[in-house]
Amino acid sequence: MNSTAQTHTATLDATTDGPLPTLVKRSRPLTRNTPTLRGRVALVIGASSGIGAATARLLARQGATVVLAARREGPLHALAREIEQRGGHALAVPTDVSDRTAIDALVARTIAACGRLDILVNDAGIGAGHSIMTADARMERMLAVNLLAPARLMQAALPHLRRQGGGSIVNIGSIAGEMGTSGLYSATTFGLRGLTDSVRREVRSDRIAVTLIEPGYIRTPLTAGRRGRMPGPEVVARAVAAVITRPRRTVVMPWYWRIPIILTQLFPGVADRYLPSARGERVRHEDTPAAEVPAETSATEAAETITEQAEEALTL
């Protein structure tokens, strides 16, 4: 990595003061027909591991300058160095997205360093607390990170997207926001789904695309204890890159999770019977504690049971 890249990744953090060099040239607004991301600036929240890190790598390979934000400073700077060494452009900005002041500083640093902002990817989240009996402090933290942070980040980013004549916002939710399986966590992902729909309609005339991606179980360090085969975070990263260039309203990943979602909507009584046993499952977000008690029945097994019960109902 050259000395200039080292300076950029080392000095751009939440406490940086003063003007920063402009790293990308101005170009036309991102539109549906933009073939690559060359010259675009993407702000990736939750980029220190898992889906966020995979997304940052892919967007950088496609030519975007990626601004990496997460709480964990070490992994964040390591990823920035990796991207720079592979010929990309990356800036690490350690940020606690539960802090509104830190969010505003993050967006301000992005504009100061890069001169623009084209893409916002919201992937940070807390996944613990699968019962309504979750401790109050944990519930407040979950609401702050899973729901308030995406709202605040969109608030901070939208003036810049509007001024440039367009852009893209991608929120990473969860299938729990469709099926109601995990206490307040599900409530926050339901909320993110509604917020995404609302913002999409609000900014439609501004040529800003707003997409929700809802992953099921994805192979990340946080799902290392789960049995069975799971797709890697790259499958979600590819979906993010795809909706940036060809916007969609909602994407469920992997596709087969659409089946239990639809069946849950068609047969809510069956879902009520089988889904509660999944409340102890771990989910994919970066801040989820490593130690959690797994449920007796996994969400995948519960979804399979719903499918079987629905099939029986359809034959009656």
Tokens 């934000």 label which residue?
Answer: 69
pLDDT score of 153 more than 90: yes
C-alpha torsion 136→137→140→142, nearest 10: -100
Nearest to 153, CA basis, from 57, 67, 40 = 67
Give me the CATH topology for the region 3-315: Rossmann fold (3.40.50)
pLDDT in tens, 20-73: 444 544 444 444 444 489 999 999 999 999 999 999 999 999 999 999 999 999
Query: What is the rounded (10 degree) CA torsion for 146, 105, 10, 120?
Result: 50
Question: Sorting pLDDT into bands at 50, 70 and 90, what band is 312?
Answer: very low
pTM (2 d.p.): 0.78
Tokens 């596709």: give the residue.
Answer: 255
* pLDDT tens readout for residues 226-268: 777 888 899 999 999 999 999 999 999 888 888 888 888 888 8
pLDDT at 282: 43
Q: Report, as residue numbers or ranges, the catalytic residues.
A: 185
pLDDT at 18 over 70: no
Residue range 275-281: mean pLDDT, rounded: 48
The domain spans of the chain are 3-315
* Pick from 19, 81, 97: nearest CA to 285: 97
Return phi, psi of residue 212, to 5°: -110, 125
The per-residue pLDDT of the chain, averaged, comes to 79
